[in-house]
Copies of this chain bind each other. A is one copy, B any other.
Amino acid sequence: MTAATQGAKYTIGVDFGSESGRAVLVDIATGREVATAIYRYRNGVLDEHLPAPDDDVRLAPDWALQDPLDYIRTFQETVPAVLAEAAVNAADVVGVGIDFTACTMLPTTADGTPLCALPEFRRDPHAWVKLWKHHAAQPQADRINELARQRGEAWLASYGGRISSEWFFAKSLQILDEAPHIYRAADRLIEAADWVVWRLTGNECRNSCTAGYKAMWSKDAGFPSTAFFAGLDSALATIVADKMSSDIASIGERAGGLTAEAAAWTTLVPGTPVAVANVDAHVSVPASTVTGPGTMVAVMGTSICHLVLGSRPAAVEGMCGVVEDGIVPGLFGFEAGQSAVGDLFAWFVETSVPPAYHAAAAAQGIDVHAVLEREAARLQPGENGLVALDWWNGNRSILVDADLTGLIVGATLATRTSDIYRSLIEATAFGTRVIIEAFEAAGVAIDEVVACGGLPERNRLLMQVYADVTGRVFRIAASTQTAALGSAMFGAVAAGAAEGGYDTIDEATERMARLSDVVFRPNVANRAAYDALFAEYRRLHDDFGRGESSTMKRLKAIRAAAIATATVGP
């Protein structure tokens, strides 16, 4: 492996994903990723039962929990590993940053002990970490949305008019509804992102990113009012004062220094500066070289998260949120999203690709996606005769409707597997174009796009289609682990120039973040065909996604009724 450079200084970023945590050790001067280590969570995603010895406690559908001790183990396993691998002296590590999935939250005691770590609560599922994809709080999200609409809450407009079941107060209210004793026992309710920073620094420091995007906080107005919370449940009225904090630290600040305990976990030096916590997608923005308006960052993996910076707020239709200081201090961070992208292609390969493609992939030692991509790349735009609505997992932006479903039209007996595959790629590109047009319609410029997150480097056709469909240049972040790199960059900013880091995220970005040399430019020859296809997409989008034609919702209702009456077969 690459050895440390004489006299160099380093920063460490730790990225907490759904299945594992990852640390990267980065050279502050160059952004070179010197060493990486991954810890696969011992208890993974808990979606069927609690971990042994309590594995007789079953979890209902839509539940997804985690064990907070897996996060501590991540520090213990990965940070010493990267130091050792790179042969770097702990004293040369000037800062640490972390990023997390969100909203991933847990109840703790006043000193930060997770309730699930206490014997009296550990058999109660509500005492554990609720992972971002815990979807069992939908009834609570519905109540929050209903009340917010009734009361005309101003903050609703910042979230596309609807908050998600994944978010902080939906999950908190579910605890109160279903396990009031846990709610009462919880001195604190806290994002896991902030909890790990608390564990590292001893400082319960709440970050502006998760507060803004997941807990309806804004710099101007703070959290929703006591009256609003009281309208949901009198016991919830003082949740912010009692179990949270109104003292929100901006992204880019220093949360504190490593405690002796955390220094022992990590083998770092006590007092090493630790950045305010961040979110995985959002921290990828500077790691993709973007610290100002005009360039969208598309974090492309199983889904797409679209992030844009603006110098002032704007009402963008169907965005997930807009938060001041939410991504880069001093700017408004806009977030939008598409619910199924890589997941959609994976679904297709799993359910709809015949043996010949699998055999070709095996024979050539490549992925089935690569075989499909090669065949699909031979087609002219429009040649497949298909257009799809990419709503296999609902529509996040701009329709904000989880009950929408996938549609494909144009199939004939001559339609091939690769025709359909290409139409799904095109559909996700059309979805991105709808989002870009919504931003531009609201006065937020999107001049070009930087993609990161896994899909871009694997699928050149995908990138070219996105460039052609959106008419934007698509660049790709050089790093394949932008979240961890971005956290390391914020670690450098937490240190500051005086302690060997940087004073601003702009400076850190200039020195540490890079783009790949591969650039996808719109092919003007494809413009007319894609404009024509996009007009069809847009028409179907509005027909099925808005207004009268609620075919998709009626089908969901019919399906729910069928499942409810289904008798289990022999």
Footprint of B on A, CB under 8 Å? 340, 343-344, 347, 349-355, 358, 378-387, 392-393, 405-413, 415-417, 420, 529, 532-533, 536, 539-540, 543-544, 549, 551-552, 554-556, 558-559, 561-563, 565-566, 569
Query: A411 — which chain B residues lie within 8 A by C-beta?
Result: 392, 405-408
Query: A340 — which chain B residues lie within 8 A by C-beta?
Result: 413
Asked if B532 and A410 sit within 8 Å, CB to CB, the answer is: no
Asked if A529 and B405 sit within 8 Å, CB to CB, the answer is: no
User: How many copies of the shown chain assemble into the complex?
Assistant: 2
Q: Which of A353, A382, A413, A543 has the most CB of B within 10 A?
A: A413
Asked if B563 and A380 sit within 8 Å, CB to CB, the answer is: yes
Asked if B405 and A412 sit within 8 Å, CB to CB, the answer is: yes
The contact of A540 among B355, B536, B551, by CB within 8 Å, is B551
Given contact pairs A352-B354, A529-B562, A536-B551, A413 touches B347 in the complex (Cβ within 8 A): yes
7 A-B pairs besides A352-B354, A352-B417, A381-B562 with CB distance below 8 A are A347-B415, A379-B562, A383-B566, A385-B405, A387-B551, A405-B412, A540-B551
Asked if B385 and A556 sit within 8 Å, CB to CB, the answer is: yes
The complex places the Cα of A539 from the Cα of B379 at a distance, in Å, of 33
12 A-B contact pairs sorted by A residue (CB < 8 Å) = A352-B353, A353-B354, A385-B405, A385-B555, A387-B551, A392-B412, A405-B410, A408-B408, A410-B551, A529-B561, A529-B562, A533-B558
The complex places the Cα of A381 from the Cα of B566 at a distance, in Å, of 9
The complex places the Cα of A531 from the Cα of B541 at a distance, in Å, of 26
* Closest chain B CB from A354 CB (angstroms): 6
Query: A569 — which chain B residues lie within 8 A by C-beta?
Result: 378
Asked if B549 and A543 sit within 8 Å, CB to CB, the answer is: yes
* Closest chain B CB from A193 CB (angstroms): 27
Query: A392 — which chain B residues lie within 8 A by C-beta?
Result: 411-413, 415
The complex places the Cα of A457 from the Cα of B339 at a distance, in Å, of 43
The complex places the Cα of A352 from the Cα of B418 at a distance, in Å, of 10
Query: A386 — which chain B residues lie within 8 A by C-beta?
Result: 555
The complex places the Cα of A5 from the Cα of B385 at a distance, in Å, of 59
Query: A353 — which chain B residues lie within 8 A by C-beta?
Result: 352, 354
Asked if B385 and A413 sit within 8 Å, CB to CB, the answer is: no
Please give me the 4 A-B residue pairs with the lowest Cβ-Cβ distance, nearest first.
A406-B411, A382-B562, A385-B559, A383-B562
